[in-house]
Structure 1
Amino acid sequence: MSEKYKKETEENFDEYIDCTGLYCPAPIYETKKKIDTMEKGRILKITADDPGSGPDIRSWARMTGNELVKAEKNKNIFTFYIRKTG
């Protein structure tokens, strides 16, 4: 992984929401609520442990025109970085 990519996704995010313990549809709702307050180009970091959040967040980003910069899973925690573009 290039240092620029690592910095952009892991160290350089503008807002963060912790959706661990929340289940569908709460992670999507919280993501939308937060991203609606952000300026275009800003990056939102989201953590969640709902197994459905993986496909749900990916689909939501695609449907809303926001960029899913990175998605990863570590044990039972999903981490997403979404750039507001839509």
Structure 2
Amino acid sequence: MKGYIEERAINIANYIIEENATVRQTAKKFGISKSTVHKDVTERLVQINPALAARARKVLDVNKSERHIRGGLATREKYLHQKGIV
């Protein structure tokens, strides 16, 4: 079982880096929870492959810093649709 978890952590990190994916997108793609994605990248992967973990963490940090902007845009779209503008 441990080999599966290590392989999953590596696959998750590669997906995040290649697709510039968020934790939520990654969780949906792999059929796991957001907390599992986070734990795989921040704890498990650091022990398996620290360089890959750092690259994935960098993408996640950028996504985290931008999430308030995406949330605002989503809210704007919602209200534009309700008013029939878009």
Return the index of the structure with the highest Cα Rg.
2
Work out whether the TM-score is over 0.5. no
Greater fraction of residues in strand: 1
